[in-house]
Structure 1
């Protein structure tokens, strides 16, 4: 059986390891999927949630390539690209459009906006890496080995386990074979969108069609990224119908959407019952009271911890993919239950790319260590 290895380990792919990638996407689950794929193959990733943040990131940092979603709030990918091209050095940055559409003319529209290439979502890992290899200038960068082993699964093994509505083989391929991450993303999808059908029906009754279109577009992107083929297809058709205007009948498609997303959620719910408790749920297994010392005790070494916390602050401010690695360096120095609780909250915020929230938690963690961090400008 062939392995579900997302890309061939070519010499060309080796030459772009360590390259710095700017990922601009407003969807949290898609951010995590794309980052897992990129970091899992030795690339460094900075994540931003809209075009305005992308422009600011390019002003402050050097990138080897930018992956730019087209539809984002505050500023879309086209506008961001046009502003980046006016920045010093901005004309040389390869910018790749990420779009959920595969319509004729989309590529031409992206190129006319100043982008270099075009990739359709859900992202095909092979297509992504061929594009990266084509546009990133090869170099002898200092690339760190991907953190954690990739949990590559054989097709036969993946096919023995089923979640209704989810192609696990495709879902795993999308996250570089990381089953733990895929499970967490499925749980996150279930948690965040359980009431989506009720929300859509309510907003349609209130005439909030644009809000519904935005939500349906988001669900479509997530479904594609997680391997929910039928849900992706039905959601795409529903989106097209809703774009048709008031006179277009969408009730039948909405009913199909309701049935299919219900089927997917029921499968995820069943999956959760078979999974071990989440890491953050088992975080209090030590039985320590708040503020109690860990078994091997010890005071906080502020001289060691302060520079680590400051480095993490800088990484979080930049939305950098190495934030989680830096937190792992910090954890052993946090010797009480209360500090560990802050670390767990911080890890969750980083996992979900909630960097602003993570900075607030980091500040609380630092204060718990008797350290005051300077505010980032």
Structure 2
């Protein structure tokens, strides 16, 4: 099935939403999926997409929790982020597939890294396939469709969701227009990747502002406290969440901070890092203001 929404106009993505949901629903509705990802924004978007297609989804915040939840039984498939705290996705996969009870359980890697060596590491750990981040609906649905067990009886028991009224559509369009004017922001594609659900996109964006608006200051404090590893993890998490929401300018800045923190920040690197963090703070505040997040004011 060719339902690839990447780089597709918003109108087409909305028009094909029913088709994509119907395709996955008819074959796999009611299937139980465990999503393991430490990034709340990425979890929210992926869960929204899967539940829209009739899948039952539970979440785990790290690999250890994922192993514990799978051990309780009942999952048809696991979507596993590669980089997570406590136990990472590769280690969690090795634990699960090393147990004969779960040797055949499909585990799909979720990763922003498309390099051959990263994919080789995932395959070596026993992962079955890949879903790129930020998540695109077409790729997610197609990959899930390849690995989920189908059940026509189960699908018939899951009713299709009724369309929700949209009384705030004009207000949503106004906020989206403000966001689109920000540098390095592709709202159009991000909303398309949420199947045109503007209200859900804005809800997740405001969650992003709530959880990540202070990240620049937090990164600076961690660097000042000589904790570059924690600062790098914070930059990595911000990068992934921003990319998911179309905030590519913020994602690129966060990626630059993450890269600078690969070694000990000192001298010129420290000065570059300070400039990046300052720019990051300005962009995060601009997003919060454009999105009408409480506590911020627009001029």
TM, length-normalised to structure 1: 0.64
Match of 1:327 in 2: none
1:161-219 CA distance string (max 9 Å, x none): 13124322222233333322222222222222333222222221221001101100110
- Equivalent position to 1:251, from 271, 275, 295: 271
Asked whether the 8 Å contact 1:231–1:257 carries over to 2, the reply is: no
- Residue 285 of structure 2 is matched in structure 1 by 265
After TM superposition, the structure 1 stretch with the greater mean CA deviation from structure 2, 240-249 or 228-237, is: 240-249
Is residue 52 from structure 1 mapped to residue 75 from structure 2 by the alignment? no
Question: Counterpart in 2 of 1:321?
Answer: none
State the Cα deviation string for residues 85-123 of structure 1 (Å, max 9, x = none).
Answer: 133530111100112322231111101001101222111
- RMSD between aligned residues: 2.8
Who is 2:251 aligned against? 232
Give the aligned partner of residue 19 of structure 2. Answer: 9
Structure 2 unaligned residues grouped into runs of 5+: 1-8, 295-299
Q: Structure 1 unaligned runs (5+)?
A: 275-377
CA 1:105 to 1:190, structure 2 compared with 1: closer, same or farther past 3 Å?
A: same
1:222 aligns with 2:231: no
Paired residues in the alignment total 270
1:117, 1:23 → 2: CA distance?
A: 14
Residues 208-250 of structure 1: CA deviation (Å, up to 9, x unaligned):
0011011001100110111101111222222122114446826
Alignment match of 1:177 (pick from 166, 182, 196): 196
Indicate the residue corresponding to 2:161 in structure 1: 146
What is the rounded CA distance, in whole Å, between the counterparts of 1:272 and 1:86 in structure 2? 48
Q: Counterparts of 1:132 and 1:160 in 2: how far apart (Å)?
A: 30
Q: With structure 2 as the length reference, what TM-score do the two structures score?
A: 0.80
Instruction: Report the alpha carbon displacement of residue 158 of structure 1 after superposing the two structures with TM.
Output: 8.9
2: CA distance, partners of 1:113 / 1:222: 25
Asked if structure 1 preserves the Cα contact closer than 8 Å seen for 2:32 and 2:55, the reply is yes
* Alpha-carbon distance in structure 2 between the residues aligned to 1:114 and 1:251: 42
Q: Which has the higher contact order (CA 8 A, sep 6+)?
A: 2
Alpha carbons of structure 1 residues 171 and 258: separation in structure 2 relative to 1, 3 Å: farther
- Shift in Å, 1:150: 9.3
CA distance in 1, matches of 2:293, 2:232: 33
Moved more, 136-145 or 52-61: 136-145
